[in-house]
Structure 1
Amino acid sequence: MKQLMGCAAAAALLLPATGAQAARDYVWAAGSSTVFPFVTRVAENYAKKTGSKAPKVESLGTGGGIKLFCSGVGDAFPDIANASRPMKKSEFDQCAAKGVKDIVQIKIGFDGIVVATDKEGPSYNFKLEHLYLGLAANVLRGGKFVPNPYTTWDEVGSGLPGNRIQVYGPPPTSGTRDAFLELGIEAGARKFPTADELRSNNEKKFKEMVDPLRKNGWIDAGENDNAIVQTLTKTPGALGVFGYSFLEENMDKVKGASVNGVAPTAGAISDGSYPLSRSLYIYVKKAHVGVTKGLPEFMQELVSDAATGRGGYLQSRGLIPLPQSQHDAQKQAIAKLTPMARPTS
């Protein structure tokens, strides 16, 4: 009962906003497949605590969720976009063009992107440049970009297993894909002076040459990361790319590769030493606060110590908690509903 009273008191700080066209009697969140299990768990706890209808949570990928979120204001559009990367400037502008303004950005924790294989398969210790050379459609040879000629991992780097390059990963709408491109593929390409110089002089051209993934080795496997895990257990030698939480849930089936000598662990992701680490976000329409039933209380549950705090119930699901000072700052952001600034990129 004290918890409910506390939730209600906190919700009182959230002033009703105007601008929404109609009210729903449930909260609607859509977006990242990585954030999906965390927000789903919060939705279940919120429904149990309050007796309200459980929020609707959809796994559409970060890009798909933000696109739907930015399509308009009112009950036909989500209240929340779940994202495994920051909102882009182009997406923010698309929101504004549709009247979606005063967006509140909340960081809920950290996650790592894992390159995994079947538990019984050989172990991998990748360098970032191996990921680029193995998976990019165009790679540098002799200082020039050429179509990727590599077919097995031992051709990419000495000491890597001789398995065929066959990697199952998220589609272009996924924030996991975006983050993997930035943290893995682009970072690997920048190990080569020619690519690093190109990025300094012409970032757009750099992305055009580096970001496309090969079609004969990378397989788009949809937004269901559990399906990728199942594929790895049935496809000897194949690799999969997905969020750390799915590795933690399936340690009996798959194992994660090291990157630059660092294994994907909660500690290494939290301190940033694991190269494929990232932050996870939710975006909230201020115009829906005070209009969509239960939205203030649900937001409070999302940033509560019980959910996203250190030792909270989402930590057991694989979420890496924020440092206490950052966690407290997210609570303040929810209380004040401070709109985010336009992204710079």
Structure 2
Amino acid sequence: MQKKIGYLTLTAAAMLAAPLAAQARDYISIVGSSTVYPFTTVVAEQFGKSGQFKTPKVESTGTGGGFKLFCSGVGVETPDISNASRAIKSSEKETCASNGVKEIVEVKVGYDGIVLAHSKDAKPMELELKQLFLALAKDVPDPKGGDKLVPNPYTMWSDIDRSLPKQKIEVLGPPPTSGTRDALVELGMEAGCKKFPSLKALKEKDGDAFKAACHTMREDGAFIEAGENDNLIVQKLTANKDAYGIFGYSFLEENLASVKPTVIEGSRPTYDSISSGDYPLSRPLFFYVKKAHVGVIPGLAEFVAEFTSEKAWGPEGYLADRGLIALPDDERSKAAQSAKKMAPMK
């Protein structure tokens, strides 16, 4: 009888294993940041050319959208990697953990800068972060004086400062799900907001009120959410020389024939100014790996090794040709070693 039970148990296990094997994916699934997307796509193409594994499937969902999919659980129906143009948030890590995604490998891949670009045919403009905040914030300090916030009254750039062009404020930018939007708010809007003493003091008194004042974009048509499609923004800038668009430096590099960047705080976005941190809107880029999928999804560890190889992400690597700004040598070496070990985040 015991032998029969053992036989039945083994048979049942074999029957369960068969459909799981049939459902297993034979390619890597990657989601996330539209900024990191071009780099990952290039690595995926190089990886696929080796012939040992299938070319990974890469989708541009935005950083927030990517984490939502990535943190939905463990299994072949969920992504293996999520690209991000900012670090994962505590709330996202908590969502991951609650859904069984408990071991996440963070890989910092390089740096990028957020640019405010416009048509190559447009007149150049130089901006201070304070002026950028006044152009894009929903509510701003009353220009008549005092600490009161009022609905943004500025419709022309010259309304903010006479030195700026006498043209309508029209800025196309990313949606709230984008890591580029998060970085713009933190590095640009908040930094500009703090130039006002009353708002800087508000951060200490009431963090929520400060965030509402400094992070909320205007909704009156001066700032236009253009989705996760940076190509569409470039097309619109080409068609309208008075409009400005917000996207990553790497995308600017690909489109220098049609658009040019705005100088911010006296600094032009270049490889060197972003790498050194002189450009005020510089930020790191990441991708995150679901460790539970390593060894289950064919080629996952090998793909990470390709991405973190010198021939890919080094200063002379093929990603540098696409606009990726490499990590400093020591930092890059440590990141590559950590990725090879698949060391989870603490």
For the criterion TM > 0.5, the same-fold answer is yes
CA distances 1:105-161 after superposition (whole Å, capped 9, x unpaired):
000000000001100101111100011001000111221111100000111123111
Confirm whether residue 24 of structure 1 aligns to residue 29 of structure 2.
Answer: no
Which of 234-243 and 22-31 deviates more? 22-31
Q: Hey, what does 1:59 align to over in structure 2? A: 60
Cα distance in structure 1, aligned partners of 2:340 and 2:254: 33
Cα distance in structure 2, aligned partners of 1:54 and 1:94: 29
Contact (CA 8 Å) 1:109, 1:322: kept in 2 or not? yes
SS in 2 for 1:59: coil
Confirm whether residue 297 of structure 1 aligns to residue 298 of structure 2.
Answer: no
Cα distance in structure 2, aligned partners of 1:128 and 1:209: 15
Q: Hey, what does 1:222 align to over in structure 2? A: 227
Q: Hey, what does 1:14 align to over in structure 2? A: none
Where in structure 2 are the equivalents of 1:101-120 lying within 5 Å?
101-120=102-121
CA distances 1:162-219 after superposition (whole Å, capped 9, x unpaired):
1101000111110000100000011100011111111122222211122111112000
Please report the TM-score for the alignment, with normalisation by the length of structure 1: 0.91
Confirm whether residue 68 of structure 1 aligns to residue 72 of structure 2.
Answer: no
Q: Hey, what does 1:286 align to over in structure 2? A: 291
Let me know the Cα RMSD of the aligned residues.
1.2
1:150 alignment partner, one of 154, 171, 193:
154
Contact (CA 8 Å) 1:310, 1:321: kept in 2 or not? yes
How big is the shift at 1:236? Answer: 2.3
Confirm whether residue 246 of structure 1 aligns to residue 258 of structure 2.
Answer: no
Q: Hey, what does 1:96 align to over in structure 2? A: 97
Q: Report the AA paired with residue 148 of structure 2.
A: K
Cα distance in structure 2, aligned partners of 1:66 and 1:94: 9
Structure (1 or 2) with the larger CA radius of gyration: 2
Q: Report the AA paired with residue 336 of structure 1.
A: K
Q: Hey, what does 1:44 align to over in structure 2? A: 45
Q: Hey, what does 1:187 align to over in structure 2? A: 191
Please report the TM-score for the alignment, with normalisation by the length of structure 2: 0.91
Cα distance in structure 1, aligned partners of 2:74 and 2:303: 19
Cα distance in structure 2, aligned partners of 1:253 and 1:51: 39
CA distances 1:270-316 after superposition (whole Å, capped 9, x unpaired):
00000000000000011011111110100000100011111100000
Confirm whether residue 257 of structure 1 aligns to residue 249 of structure 2.
Answer: no
Contact (CA 8 Å) 1:70, 1:98: kept in 2 or not? yes
Q: Report the AA paired with residue 302 of structure 1.
A: F
1:200 alignment partner, one of 200, 204, 207:
204
SS in 1 for 2:50: helix
Q: Report the AA paired with residue 175 of structure 2.
A: P
Cα distance in structure 2, aligned partners of 1:164 and 1:57: 37
Confirm whether residue 275 of structure 1 aligns to residue 280 of structure 2.
Answer: yes
Contact (CA 8 Å) 1:23, 1:293: kept in 2 or not? no
Which of 134-143 and 279-288 deviates more? 134-143
Cα distance in structure 2, aligned partners of 1:85 and 1:290: 27
Contact (CA 8 Å) 1:83, 1:175: kept in 2 or not? yes
Q: 1 or 2 for the larger relative contact order (CA 8 Å, sep ≥6)?
A: 1
SS in 2 for 1:53: coil
Cα distance in structure 2, aligned partners of 1:294 and 1:51: 8
Cα distance in structure 2, aligned partners of 1:107 and 1:200: 31
The aligned length equals: 322
Q: Report the AA paired with residue 272 of structure 2.
A: G
Confirm whether residue 324 of structure 1 aligns to residue 329 of structure 2.
Answer: yes
Which of 148-157 and 36-45 deviates more? 148-157
Q: Report the AA paired with residue 52 of structure 1.
A: F
Cα distance in structure 1, aligned partners of 2:49 and 2:226: 34
Q: List alignment gaps of at least 5 residues for structure 1.
A: 1-19
Identical positions, percent: 53
SS in 2 for 1:110: strand
Q: Report the AA paired with residue 329 of structure 1.
A: K
1:312 alignment partner, one of 312, 317, 320:
317
Contact (CA 8 Å) 1:165, 1:238: kept in 2 or not? yes
Cα distance in structure 2, aligned partners of 1:221 and 1:252: 21
Cα distance in structure 2, aligned partners of 1:68 and 1:244: 26
Cα distance in structure 2, aligned partners of 1:38 and 1:196: 37
Q: Report the AA paired with residue 104 of structure 2.
A: I
